[in-house]
């Protein structure tokens, strides 16, 4: 009955895993979610029950060993990604893996080598590429609508900082938060970044600094093509999730506004106002999560190339490492300095 | 397995029927679409296959006779609505019916009486009430955020006129198009309209006039509460689907903009521009269709009142009849003049 | 030394008179304001002193009798306009007269006849035509940029109602406030209005109703060209001076936003907001007052036609009278019914 | 007759000199422009005739020697500023000087010392501080409306690059163009910049590079207060003069849009568009030029402090020198490295 559908196993039933489960169950007809694994048995069962998935397991090997499973969606903790990718590749499963594959380049490289050797597909979860706003900007750059790109700005601010406990294991702001923006920069301009310069600080919560991390940063990017870009990151924008980009080209500029829950404006006695922008990445990016997963399922079904590759998974990690090095050494850092 | 779900039968697998089928299949977990009926057997089968519905029938009576079916969604041609509502009510089925129930008041009244007698729920498909923009305006009015409402404006323009063949059976612009705006007016202000005045013409296509209809209209509304409103209708806005409202109150005003496919702005050598607004009601209102159906399923499941009642189905038809009479007689017309 | 300049006398040194005096003194090099008259001697003297005008008089006949004076700017109370226009014309002076020339058609006609007979220029103070926003809309209509116009909407709301004492002598909302919008309607569409229908009420202050006036109105306009329009008037918009128009045409639509003191947006924890629009007609329309006066001075200097004619002065008064009649008789009223 | 007015002499009747002359003649009643000097006698005479100024001279010493002249407005070529400032100070004249005083710090310091010794007022022409948009941003920062500032972005793009001949004598993009943005950065944040990092290139015209200059730059600023900022400069934005700023603070953010010639939006069959932003600094900033000069005249009249001081004239030059050094040495540069 599900002959034409791609049989998928989900590994990790946390927040992002449940999101993908919902989309596979209700929004992506060509995918069939047949099994869910989570080390927390209760979580696996609840997720399976909620989205009508027939099977829930504790050990993800049961997913990898299931011959019916054609593809896996890896949403487990980051430090397990590389290992699961390698094992899934060895079992011939196509892989969708949440970002990043790992915080260490050598592990990423080993995982990518395993994928290459196995000849399976690997797509990494840079969902923002599928967002309507950013896709429109990429289209404007790629089509020549704004001419040759010259300057890029990315504003990417969270509504509030994560818990300190999370900060400590996050790999730091560049690997945890900016990594999306590093990917976005490469995606929008269509050229590789060669050098970064970081100006950053702890402005929001001293505890973040005590944990060895930063909460506010501006990173300058120099692309191989000559384009200069900046990324503005803050862990706290009290008005909500601030996600904007702007590209100046020789024939014009394109910029995006935030997304709002409605298009209503209220004119009162004090001001002219609207409701705050969408406040959470799941609200803001819900469509992009559906689109990226549909694209993955489609690539598997039709044996087409995935839209976000293993190389795309690796490059932002190099950028993140260089950005941290630039901060530590207070100087511009070339990517080849960290990419031994 | 679907114990907690509401078993639903769909009658009519045309454009709007397929839309509801998709939502029931993928977006509304608490509803279970178990059978689809269409006089065109092929259409019924294709729709069922596409959305994983187990049963497809030609005769809608098979749906009404199915004891498992708790509720029906009526998407058949308008002239069959009243009859099916009556029959469904007689069989004890809860009913979601696309608007309008009928173009004639006497038939609506008979259908509503049947519903009342049977004690089933009836929700009519005024989906726009569930749109985020208009819901926000209603909230601003109902909560007192803009004080006492005084003036209302509704702009409601289609991208392009329908085929003349459709115009001829549509019941005319007021029953076919403005009916949504009549409902919106009542919904936003929370008061009944007592009198209408129509200024209208044929400005787009003489064939529309030859068919006895109008293509452009401004209708002035006088509410029982004293509020004065206007509805601006055009069958042709070349820039897309234009759907805006504005309410002025004693403490402020609220107005809505159109919805766009993205939030990108392009500054070029000739102008500063953005892509056209969403062009089709299915794109523009897709979320509201999901929300209205979820609300109906929920009302059935929890035995709660439906958010759009039989009375809400009737009032806009009275307004439409009065609007046409006002045009024909070139004078303001009270609703009680047509509501004998 | 002022050979090339037009020698101008100002009659009436009230609020609007002082505004024109300032513009003639500082913003319009081709005009030379040489005398100011006001029945209040103190007002005349202060105004002259402030703007460096050499002569201040009490009796405006001293202005009309001054052979150096080529043109007069009439800013005295409305009930003196017609008489002064006639006398100024008889003396061969070109005339800029604030709107309206009179509240009675017969007096307007007599004044216009005097102007015609004398062969002097008469420009009436419909300054809004010279506003950048509305001029842009007119350009879009006249140039065909939006195709054939079909629907027009004018929103024109004051921040707060005038004092009741003023209401009583104002001639009523249609002659006092809507008159600008009646002119705007004719200007934007470039066609005459043939019929009006008024829906109006007293929603803001019962004292306005007790004075025999209305404070809130929607007037539907039918143009000779077939265009249908509405004017939305309110004496109270708590958020400021609301002045917007919109025209729908066969090839597109054009709409204007309000003008703001700055282009800054503040995103805070409660909302995304901007400062209120400009709150007072003198701030909002200051540039249009300069431009209209410069256009008048230029027309006199170069013996060119004035951009706002005596006929333009008269037509909105007819519309105002018809609008009131429509309200009183609760029916659409043709302009020829009041224009005997 | 002009007793209460400040008698002013203008030195330099070029483009910016004529602008100030017009404002002093028509927009600033408290200033009296009594003499204009220009090495080009024709230019001096024409400017004087146009704005009704009684005296035109070739040698600016005639202005400085005139005992009636209380203040001078220095609009001569940049390389004469420092010398004229010194001489004017020695003659006890208050000074308004266009930016920059000089391209060399030692000359600026000598001029500032002369001003200090003479006890005269010196205001430098950073007009953008008086622009309504930027003044509003400063107010939001200074009042605490957006909390403690954290991140600043300045976008400052010219419509088109200047002629190469001008580029060669301009002192380079940082001293010629960015200098306004350096001042804006200090003004908005209210803290001094301690370090800059420049990423720049020649992207628009190779001839600019051959002249030793740059045409596109992103400069990262680190403020003493901890704030991090960026300045985005381009010599070519085909859509017009792009002048925006944004500040993120602990309680919110404020950002400004460009200024447009009108507030009209046109919805056509291809897009939704508006006219290009104001294209030239004289249109965009005309009000700010009036306001800065009125502020200077007022400071002289009332013996109040000037709003833009000699120190404000010097600091951006230090920033410009550091920005160039950063580019040349490809590293962040502290301001004290160039401020020996």
**Closest residue of chain A to C242, computed from CA coordinates:** A267
Q: Is A172 left (phi over 0), alpha (psi -120 to 50) or beta?
A: left
Categorize the per-residue pLDDT at B1 as very low, low, confident or very high, splitting at 50, 70 and 90: very low
Categorize the per-residue pLDDT at B3 as very low, low, confident or very high, splitting at 50, 70 and 90: low
Beta bridge partners of A123: A96
D132 touches chain C (CB under 8 A): yes
**Comparing C-alpha atoms, which of D97, D69, D74 is closest to residue D11?**
D74
Any chains having at least 3 CB pairs less than 8 A from chain D are A, B, C
The predicted model gives A67-84 an average pLDDT of: 96
What pLDDT, on the 0 to 100 scale, is given for residue C2?
41
The predicted model gives B111-139 an average pLDDT of: 97
For residue range C124-176, what is the model confidence (pLDDT) as tens digits? 999 999 999 999 999 999 999 999 999 999 999 999 999 999 999 999 999 99
> In sequence order, what are the residues at sequence separation of 6 or more whose Cβ sits closer than 8 angstroms to the Cβ of residue B80?
none
Chain A with chain D: Cβ pairs closer than 8 A: 93
What pLDDT, on the 0 to 100 scale, is given for residue C237?
97
Beta bridge partners of C157: C234, C242
Q: Kindly determine whether residue A222 and residue D228, on different chains, have CB atoms separated by under 8 Å.
A: no
D228 touches chain A (CB under 8 A): yes
Is the Cβ–Cβ distance between C50 and C77 less than 8 Å? no
Please name the residue that has the structure tokens 């090839």.
Answer: C251
Residue C104, phi then psi, degrees to nearest 5: -110, 135
What pLDDT, on the 0 to 100 scale, is given for residue B2?
41
Mean pLDDT of chain D: 96
C-alpha atoms less than 13 angstroms from C-alpha of A321 in its C-beta half-sphere: 17
ipTM score assigned to the predicted complex: 0.94
Contacts of residue C250 in chain B, CB cutoff 8 Å?
203-204, 236, 238
C-alpha atoms less than 13 angstroms from C-alpha of A280 in its C-beta half-sphere: 6
The predicted model gives B202-219 an average pLDDT of: 98
What's C22's DSSP letter?
H
D202 touches chain A (CB under 8 A): no
**pLDDT for D3 beyond 80:** no
Q: Which two tokens stand for residue D214?
A: 């740059």
Interface test with D, best of A202, A228, A273 (most D CBs within 10 A): A228
Any chains having at least 3 CB pairs less than 8 A from chain B are A, C, D
Interface test with C, best of B194, B199, B271 (most C CBs within 10 A): B199
Categorize the per-residue pLDDT at B310 as very low, low, confident or very high, splitting at 50, 70 and 90: very high
Q: Would you tell me the crossing angle of helices B78-90 and B105-118 to the nearest 10 degrees?
A: 20
Report the distance separating Cα D338 and Cα B132, nearest Å.
57
- Lowest mean pLDDT of A288-302, C18-32, D31-45, name the range: C18-32
Contacts of residue D144 in chain C, CB cutoff 8 Å?
none
Strands D333-334 and D193-201: antiparallel
B334 touches chain C (CB under 8 A): no
Is residue C247 classed as helix, strand or coil in its secondary structure? strand
What pLDDT, on the 0 to 100 scale, is given for residue A4?
75
- Lowest mean pLDDT of B160-164, C161-165, C286-290, D25-29, name the range: D25-29
Which among A140, A258, A261 has the least Cβ separation from residue B263? A258
Categorize the per-residue pLDDT at D122 as very low, low, confident or very high, splitting at 50, 70 and 90: very high
Is residue D244 classed as helix, strand or coil in its secondary structure? strand
C-alpha atoms less than 13 angstroms from C-alpha of B134 in its C-beta half-sphere: 28
**Comparing C-alpha atoms, which of C56, C105, C114 is closest to residue C83?**
C114
Strands C228-234 and C149-157: parallel
Cα dist from C165 to A328, C157, C158, C298, whole Å: 73, 20, 17, 38
The predicted model gives B258-286 an average pLDDT of: 94
The predicted model gives A48-68 an average pLDDT of: 95
Report the distance separating Cα A72 and Cα A8, nearest Å.
6
User: Which of C:271-290 have CB within 8 Å of D?
Assistant: 275
Is the Cβ–Cβ distance between D262 and D268 less than 8 Å? no
The predicted model gives D232-249 an average pLDDT of: 97
For residue range C182-192, what is the model confidence (pLDDT) as tens digits? 999 999 999 99
The predicted model gives C262-273 an average pLDDT of: 97
> In sequence order, what are the residues at sequence separation of 6 or more whose Cβ sits closer than 8 angstroms to the Cβ of residue C155?
C232, C242, C243, C244, C245
What pLDDT, on the 0 to 100 scale, is given for residue D307?
96
**pLDDT for B291 beyond 80:** yes
A334 touches chain D (CB under 8 A): no
What pLDDT, on the 0 to 100 scale, is given for residue A2?
41
Q: Is the dihedral of CA C108, C111, C115, C121 positive or negative?
A: negative
For residue range C7-41, what is the model confidence (pLDDT) as tens digits? 999 999 999 999 999 999 888 989 999 999 999 99
Report the distance separating Cα A80 and Cα A82, nearest Å.
6
The predicted model gives A291-309 an average pLDDT of: 97
Q: Is D14 exposed, middle or buried (0-12, 13-18, 19+ CB in 10 A)?
A: middle
Cα dist from A171 to A102, A174, A320, D48, D229, whole Å: 10, 8, 10, 68, 25
Is the Cβ–Cβ distance between A78 and A102 less than 8 Å? yes
Report the distance separating Cα A187 and Cα A129, nearest Å.
7
C207 touches chain B (CB under 8 A): no
**Comparing C-alpha atoms, which of B126, B124, B123, B80 is closest to residue B103?**
B80
Beta bridge partners of B90: none
Report the distance separating Cα B332 and Cα C7, nearest Å.
53
**Closest residue of chain D to A236, computed from CA coordinates:** D250
Q: Is A250 exposed, middle or buried (0-12, 13-18, 19+ CB in 10 A)?
A: middle
Q: Which two tokens stand for residue A93?
A: 């499963």
**pLDDT for B285 beyond 80:** yes
B29 touches chain A (CB under 8 A): yes
Give Cα A96 to chain centroid, integer Å.
Answer: 12
Q: Kindly determine whether residue A257 and residue B265, on different chains, have CB atoms separated by under 8 Å.
A: yes
First to last CA, chain B: 50
Contacts of residue B236 in chain C, CB cutoff 8 Å?
250
Beta bridge partners of B152: B229, B247
> Residue D109: how many CB atoms within 10 A of its CB?
15
**pLDDT for C60 beyond 80:** yes
Q: Kindly determine whether residue B267 and residue A254, on different chains, have CB atoms separated by under 8 Å.
A: yes
Q: Kindly determine whether residue A248 and residue D237, on different chains, have CB atoms separated by under 8 Å.
A: yes
> Residue B289: how many CB atoms within 10 A of its CB?
22
Cα dist from A10 to A60, A114, B1, whole Å: 9, 20, 22
For residue range B50-59, what is the model confidence (pLDDT) as tens digits? 888 999 999 9
Categorize the per-residue pLDDT at A3 as very low, low, confident or very high, splitting at 50, 70 and 90: low
Report the distance separating Cα B180 and Cα B189, nearest Å.
14
Give Cα C114 to chain centroid, integer Å.
Answer: 22
**pLDDT for C215 beyond 80:** yes
Q: Which two tokens stand for residue D98?
A: 């266009």
Categorize the per-residue pLDDT at B91 as very low, low, confident or very high, splitting at 50, 70 and 90: very high
Q: Which two tokens stand for residue C232?
A: 């939305």
First to last CA, chain A: 50
Is the Cβ–Cβ distance between A105 and A321 less than 8 Å? yes
Give pTM, 2 decimals. Answer: 0.95
Categorize the per-residue pLDDT at B281 as very low, low, confident or very high, splitting at 50, 70 and 90: confident
> Residue C279: how many CB atoms within 10 A of its CB?
16
> In sequence order, what are the residues at sequence separation of 6 or more whose Cβ sits closer than 8 angstroms to the Cβ of residue B214?
B172, B173, B200, B201, B202, B208, B327
**Comparing C-alpha atoms, which of C216, C174, C176 is closest to residue B247?**
C216
Mean pLDDT of chain B: 96
Categorize the per-residue pLDDT at A1 as very low, low, confident or very high, splitting at 50, 70 and 90: very low
Report the distance separating Cα A62 and Cα B162, nearest Å.
56
Report the distance separating Cα A152 and Cα D218, nearest Å.
10
Strands A272-274 and A264-268: antiparallel
């Amino acid at each position: 009955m599900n002959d034409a559908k791609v049989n998928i196993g989900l590994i990790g039933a946390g927040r992002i895993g449940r999101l993908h489960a919902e989309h596979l169950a209700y929004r992506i007809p060509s995918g069939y979610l047949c099994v869910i694994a989570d080390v927390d048995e209760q979580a696996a069962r609840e997720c399976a029950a909620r989205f009508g998935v027939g099977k829930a397991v504790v050990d993800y090997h049961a997913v990898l060993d299931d011959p019916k499973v054609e593809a896996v969606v890896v949403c487990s903790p980051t430090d397990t990604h590389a290992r699961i990718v390698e094992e899934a590749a060895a079992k011939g499963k196509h892989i969708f893996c949440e970002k990043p594959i790992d915080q260490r380049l050598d592990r990423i490289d080993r995982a990518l080598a395993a994928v290459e050797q196995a000849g399976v597909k690997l797509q990494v979860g840079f969902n923002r590429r599928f967002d309507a706003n950013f896709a429109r900007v990429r289209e404007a750059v790629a089509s020549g609508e704004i001419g040759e790109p010259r300057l890029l700005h990315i504003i990417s601010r969270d509504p509030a900082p994560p818990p300190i406990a999370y900060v400590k294991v996050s790999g730091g702001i560049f690997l945890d938060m900016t990594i999306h923006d590093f990917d976005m920069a490469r995606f929008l301009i269509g050229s590789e970044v060669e050098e970064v310069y970081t100006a950053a600080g702890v402005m929001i919560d001293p505890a973040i600094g005590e944990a060895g991390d930063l909460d506010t940063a501006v990173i300058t990017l120099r692309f191989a093509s000559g384009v200069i870009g900046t990324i503005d990151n803050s862990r706290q924008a009290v008005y909500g999730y601030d996600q904007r980009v702007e590209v100046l080209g020789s024939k014009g500029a394109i910029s995006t506004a935030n997304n709002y829950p409605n298009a209503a404006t209220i004119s009162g006695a004090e001001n002219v106002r609207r409701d705050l922008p969408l406040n959470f990445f799941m609200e803001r990016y819900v469509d992009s999560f559906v689109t990226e997963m549909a694209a993955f399922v489609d690539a598997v079904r039709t044996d087409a190339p995935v839209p976000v590759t293993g190389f795309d998974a690796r490059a932002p990690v190099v950028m993140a490492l260089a950005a941290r090095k630039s901060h530590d050494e207070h100087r511009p850092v070339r990517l080849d300095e960290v990419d031994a």
